[in-house]
Structure 1
Amino acid sequence: MKMGRVQLEEFVAGYLGGAASVVVGHPLDTVKVRLQAGQGYGSTFSCIFTIYRNESVAGFFKGMSFPLASIAIYNSVVFGVFSNAHRLISQYRDTSRTNLPDLIDLTFASMLAGCVSVVIGGPVDLVKIKLQMQTQSASSEVMSLNTSLRHYQSTYKGPVHCVNCILRKEGLLGMYRGAGAMLLRDIPGYCMYFIPYIYLSECLKLDRHTTPSALSVWLAGGIAGAISWGTATPMDVVKSRLQADSLYDRKYKGVKDCIMQSYCNEGIQVFFRGITVNAIRGFPMSAAMFLTYELSLRALKTSKQSS
């Protein structure tokens, strides 16, 4: 049986989809991070009003330049790995005779994408969260360290300066703080991302022999994003707290310690902090990502065939 080759178009389309998702989802991502790792924001709407009052509209886009450049590459790798892995696994197991994609194939491809995502996404998320968190209102925790708000707000001058500070103080391993929690988030998270999308887009097709319409892709991608981010929220809270931890004072020794301290201090509800923002943000962000990905992929393949 002849195995297929790696298709580079999947990586290019993933890059474009990733860029679209950042533009759409970053403002609510900032709100989500502040709710999960910040202090004194209360409800979702209270957080939004506080950010707007203190930092204007620009506060919602804090730290966007770095993810716009890096998350596009991150999504390029994730989508490229998933699509190529799924195709190669399906060919190896010869499941092409079934009408719908095989669940086992999708699960293995999604888990592989989740593992790969941490290698690239860990440092990206870390820098993004540090930049998003450093302009929040001074909390009692920060003030107890006798750190002025002015000094606190100017901790990092930008993404490059942030990376340099982390590497200088903590070395390369410092760039992967929270990677364990991210792994526990992304492996099941990508299963709940790609699998619902594939099945929903297939079910929404008018004819099983045709490709999904733009509306079907947009709707399936949005629902998949809401499901994935909603279910990933508990471990996303842990990851955000671990990555934002060193902005104040090192409180958590690791994933288990963060879970135990968070539960003991704030109860079980703390792990669902930001779930509303995650689910709401997940829909437009993923809808834009999958729609841009699919349309770009079709255009690239059409261009390749005509050349």
Structure 2
Amino acid sequence: MRFLRLGPRGAERPTVLDPIDDGRERYLSLDDVTRDIDGPFLASGGIDLVREAVAAGTLPELAPPPGGWRIGAPVARPGKVVCIGLNYRDHAEETGAAIPERPVVFMKDPGTVVGPYDEVLIPRGSRKTDWEVELAVVIGRRARYLASREEALACVAGYAVSNDVSEREFQLEFSGQWDLGKSCETFNPLGPWLVTPDEAGDPQELRLRLSVDGVGRQDGHTKNMIFDVAEIVRYLSQYLVLEPGDVINTGTPAGVALGLPGHPYLRPGRCVELEIDRLGRQRQTFQQA
């Protein structure tokens, strides 16, 4: 299943996509099922309730407004955004970093999460704003001290496309505090969909791509992660409690501006497009804050 949130910022409506036999899709309202697609919805078995309602044909169809829908982030108000750094060997090599023996973990302000087509703001004083296409994992049940990979995957509600936007000077040069370069306003476009594991398939069989102004920059594959999704969730649960609605950004492949010749960092007006197999596409225009 593919969940999304439609409407103006702060007033998004929970929705599910329902495929029709002729290849079209319907937007079905979840207003009668849940207030939002968030931690409480996921924790209470909301996905199964929606699956039953779709099968029963009880969900009303939404008619798109003139000009179409704005698509918000598919998960409202994540409690935390946990990130894994240097999780692709080629990305670690392009940045001159050692291949990590354990996952590199940092946090990102949950307030950075915006819709997949929303404008992204280049911070004031920024000279090195960078892109990172990543597979995002959304937690569906409380995870603490997980003992196995199977338990870890059972805690996953679904997957989404994430752009872990970064300011490299803030991150690496000013203080060595990664969070400072990761938590700037609008720095985590997410979506368009939350795709459940049955539809997303094996999370280690997904191709990731990103372009800037039509020029391909990243083209990677989740099979090349150093630490795969199951191990990331299991590992994190040994050190912090993962709650329903939390988001994990799992790392980016090579091709970021930091590792490219000439370091072509983002400037106002640049357009970034990214996609992951079966999880959808994003497009953002970058503007000065």
Greater C-alpha radius of gyration: 1
TM-score, normalised to structure 1, is: 0.29
TM-score, normalised to structure 2, is: 0.30
Larger relative contact order (Cα-Cα within 8 Å, sequence gap ≥ 6): 1
Higher strand share: 2
Higher helix share: 1
